[in-house]
A and B are shown apart, each in its own frame.
Chain A
Amino acid sequence: EAGVAQSPRYKIIEKRQSVAFWCNPISGHATLYWYQQILGQGPKLLIQFQNNGVVDDSQLPKDRFSAERLKGVDSTLKIQPAKLEDSAVYLCASSAWNPGQGAYEQYFGPGTRLTVT
């Protein structure tokens, strides 16, 4: 099956500019996540969707970040305006039950590497 797709793979912008990232999860996966991974750190959850509803956005900086998943499939994450500290890899993941593992397994996309100058 196809994996989680993300675009663009790389983006360089100046501070105060806007940027948007796109994610298409694995077909049939109801849960979608956006993570921010700063170099040398673990992924930090920004927002979690179940179908087209938000389950958790407690760590999303809502003054500048927004995300939507209008039709319960693909999703976009936007930053407006960007700050230097937003430089990171933005990972999208979707999850499904893996009966072999007895676990909800998260499948990550390749990520978008954002550099804010």
Chain B
Amino acid sequence: GQQVMQIPQYQHVQEGEDFTTYCNSSTTLSNIQWYKQRPGGHPVFLIQLVKSGEVKKQKRLTFQFGEAKKNSSLHITATQTTDVGTYFCAGDRPSGSARQLTFGSGTQLTVLP
């Protein structure tokens, strides 16, 4: 079955430093979504990438989708304490069925003030 892996599993940064998490799929994806889960909370949708090589930005967050549509990254510039949480990528399989996401294991970000 489809597998989605994320690295690193944990990341501690000093406030103001940059942060990057990487996502790799065992199969080609039709699209990839990114979610953020605050401690004790539930996943919240951030963005979806569809096109090969696509890059999208949301303020300090930059999302990239690989040319082969099998990997993706999320980069946060100048982290803030509000960025604390676990970031998940979720790959959408290229089938004709309704959307089904396979989530990665997540990267837990800690921002030290």
A102 to B52, CA, bound (A): 15
Q: How far is the CA of A55 from the CA of B100 in the complex (A)?
A: 9
Tell me the smallest distance from the CB of A24 to a CB of chain B, in Å.
15
List residues 89-108 of chain B with CB under 8 A from any CB of chain A: 90, 97-106
Minimal Cβ-Cβ distance residue in A for B102: A45
Is the pair A55, B97 in contact by a Cβ cutoff of 8 Å?
yes
Task: Chain B residues near A109: list those with CB within 8 A.
Answer: 42
In this complex, how many residues of chain A approach chain B with their Cβ under 8 Å: the count is 25
User: Per-position contact with B for A70-95: 1 when CB-CB < 8 Å, else 0?
Assistant: 00000000000000000000010001
- Cβ–Cβ contact B31 & A91, under 8 A: no
Within 8 Å of chain B (Cβ to Cβ): is A44?
Answer: yes
The stretch that binds A, out of B43-51, B64-72, B76-84, is B43-51
Residues of A within 8 A of B6 (CB): 42
**Contact indicator A107/B45 (Cβ below 8 Å):** yes
Contact of B43 among A48, A98, A108 (CB under 8 A): A108
User: B residues engaging A (CB < 8 A)?
Assistant: 4, 6, 31, 33, 41-45, 47-48, 50, 88, 90, 97-106
Binding site for B on A (CB under 8 A): 31, 40-45, 48, 50, 55-56, 91, 95, 98, 101-111
